[in-house]
């Protein structure tokens, strides 16, 4: 790893543990095994470091969302693709949901700016819903409700990991990881049934 990569990895770990406000540059330097002066050479402030990590993570996720929309021939395809991509991405970037939640409360304009910059084809997604409703394949549903329902079911178990892992699995990391892996086979049919798709 380069020094910059080492710093970013250390910062992700510290930010997830303590949040952006509770983290200190000295803690990040210690975690990276470098001195604070070198950290400031690469990143002038904690805010700049946080913003870079956050933006990189979100920019990795959003193209997957776009792909799930573009590949879909109907809303069932989208539900399958989106949930699968989303859960895989969370495994690769477990810190991202916490960063998003933090930014929503601190400065949501950054998230809005990044999402708008990706130009996600929501009009195509709406047309998939309209087509399937017209064909009688699904019940009418607003796009906004569908997206919030899906994201909530996928995101909450990650954000609430400390509680879920402690209360349901006795702080067993392996059992929690298995539970997260199972979400794909639970959430997809749940969503499809909710919009009126007959599943086996």
* pLDDT tens digits, 89-118: 888 887 788 777 877 877 788 778 877 777
> In the chain, what is the greatest distance between 2 CA atoms, to the nearest angstrom?
64
Q: Is residue 199 part of a domain?
A: no
Are residue 93 and residue 128 in the same domain, yes or no?
A: yes
Residues 34, 92 share a domain: no
**Do residues 34 and 73 both lie within one domain?**
no
Q: Say if residue 18's pLDDT is above 90.
A: no
Distance CA 95, CA 12 (A): 7
| Cβ–Cβ < 8 Å for 71, 77 | yes
Overall number of domains in the chain: 2
53 token code pair? 């990590």
On whether both 86 and 136 belong to a single domain, the answer is yes
Which pLDDT does position 199 carry in this prediction?
Answer: 66
**pTM confidence score:** 0.77
State the average pLDDT for the chain. Answer: 89
User: What single-letter DSSP state applies at residue 160?
Assistant: T
How many Cβ atoms from other residues are within 10 Å of residue 170's Cβ? 9
Indicate whether 119 belongs to any domain.
Answer: yes
Residue numbers of the domain that contains 15: 1-44
The neighbour count for residue 5, using CB atoms within 10 Å, is 10
Sole residue written with tokens 């021939």? 73
65 plus 164 within the same structural domain: yes
Q: Are residues 56 and 85 in the same domain?
A: yes
The answer to whether residue 200 sits within a structural domain is no
- Residues 61, 152, single domain; the answer is yes
Share of the chain above pLDDT 90, in %: 57
Of 13-27, 41-55, 100-114, 150-164, minimum mean pLDDT range: 100-114
In the block, residue with structure tokens 């599943």: 199
Domain harbouring 38, CATH code:
1.10.10.60
Confidence band, pLDDT 50/70/90 cuts, at residue 22 = confident
């Amino acid at each position: 790893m380069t020094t910059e990569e080492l710093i970013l990895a250390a910062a992700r770990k510290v930010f997830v543990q303590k949040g952006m406000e509770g983290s200190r540059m000295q803690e990040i330097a210690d975690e990276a095994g470098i001195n604070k002066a070198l950290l400031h050479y690469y990143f002038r402030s904690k805010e700049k470091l946080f913003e870079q990590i956050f933006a990189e993570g979100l920019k990795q996720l959003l193209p997957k969302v776009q792909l799930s929309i573009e590949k879909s021939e109907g809303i069932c395809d989208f539900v399958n693709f989106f949930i699968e991509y989303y859960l895989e991405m969370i495994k690769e970037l477990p810190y991202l949901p916490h960063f998003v939640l933090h930014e929503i409360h601190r400065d949501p304009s950054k998230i809005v700016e990044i999402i708008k910059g990706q130009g996600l084809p929501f009009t195509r997604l709406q047309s998939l819903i309209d087509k399937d409703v017209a064909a009688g394949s699904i019940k009418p549903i607003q796009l906004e409700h569908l997206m919030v329902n899906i994201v909530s079911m996928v995101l909450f178990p990650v954000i609430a990991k400390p509680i879920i892992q402690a209360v349901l699995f006795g702080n067993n990391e392996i059992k929690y990881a298995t539970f997260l892996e199972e979400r794909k086979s639970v959430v997809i049919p749940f969503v499809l049934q909710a919009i009126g798709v007959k599943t086996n």
